[in-house]
Amino acid sequence: GDSVTQTEGPVTLPERAALTLNCTYQSSYSTFLFWYVQYLNKEPELLLKSSENQETDSRGFQASPIKSDSSFHLEKPSVQLSDSAVYYCALGIGGSQGNLIFGKGTKLSVKP
Amino acid sequence: NAGVMQNPRHLVRRRGQEARLRCSPMKGHSHVYWYRQLPEEGLKFMVYLQKENIIDESGMPKERFSAEFPKEGPSILRIQQVVRGDSAAYFCASSPETGRSYGYTFGSGTRLTVV
């Protein structure tokens, strides 16, 4: 069935370090992929979305779907303190469980 | 504000009382989803509704929990006879028909505390 697997957290990085959060998926459908970010005591919000080999970027974050290994890793060349949050990878599907399934989330802490 | 509106933001209930959480989807969105988030945990899918229909309730506990999305008015998540373990943040999200390509917009959540 359809599924999403993310980097096990928590992840701790110093300021200005490079970030990669892994996301792999299994899907029976054409692929729509999303990254959501949830800051402390806030709701999840859409960070970026992509479909079918289309690289996308937002707020300095980038992700490129790679069909050959079913991945959609989130990258940022230089993280800031304000990037500390939980990041969720999500897969667009059809049918039951709504239209998106979410990974378990990865908590990122950026330290000075 | 044309976003997803949830109320109340905070709700305190004593054990055994009922909790009613409301969600008005974003304008133009006809699909509503409810998620539960326990402290320090991820999003757990509960139920997916369209107007007057429950599409998928596979994540709902079998007892005490129910949801509806009437023809008029907001979607309601109802928890009867609350217990301490129901304390969590409950998020509602909405999407248009094309949710799988559009994605979801989340409301700011209702924080339920059972005392």
Residue B36's CB is within 10 A of a number of other CB atoms, namely 21
The residues that bridge with B97 in the sheet, in sequence order, are: none
Chain B residue with CA closest to A87: the answer is: B42
CB contact (8 A) between residue B101 and residue A51: yes
Whole-angstrom distance, CA of residue A45 vs CA of residue A24: 20
- Is A93:A1 a contact under the CB 8 Å cutoff? no
Nearest CB among A92, A97, A100 relative to B58 is that of A97
pLDDT of B1 reads 52
Q: Using the 8-state DSSP alphabet, how is residue B39 labeled?
A: T
Q: How far apart are CA A79 and CA A100, in angstroms?
A: 27
pLDDT tens by residue, B19-37: 999 999 999 899 999 999 9
For residue B74, give the nearest of B28, B11, B5 by alpha carbon: B5
For A41-68, what is each residue's pLDDT tens digit? Answer: 999 999 999 866 566 777 899 998 888 8
Residue B26 one-letter amino acid: M
Distance between CA atoms of B10 and B6, rounded to whole angstroms?
A: 10
Distance of CA B85 to the CA centre of its chain: 16
Tally of CB atoms within 10 A around A92: 26
B45 touches chain A (CB under 8 A): yes
- How far away is chain B from the Cα of A1, in angstroms, using its nearest Cα? 15
Average pLDDT, chain B: 94
- For chain B, say whether A25 makes contact (Cβ under 8 Å): no
pLDDT score of B40 more than 70: yes
Check residue B97 and give its pLDDT: 78
For residues B100 and B95, give the distance between their C-alpha atoms in angstroms, rounded to a whole number. Answer: 9
Task: Kindly indicate the confidence band of residue A38, based on its pLDDT and cuts at 50, 70 and 90.
Answer: very high
- pLDDT over 70 percentage in chain A: 89
> In the structure, what pLDDT confidence band is assigned to residue B66 with cuts at 50, 70 and 90?
very high
- Closest residue in B to A105 (Cα–Cα): B42
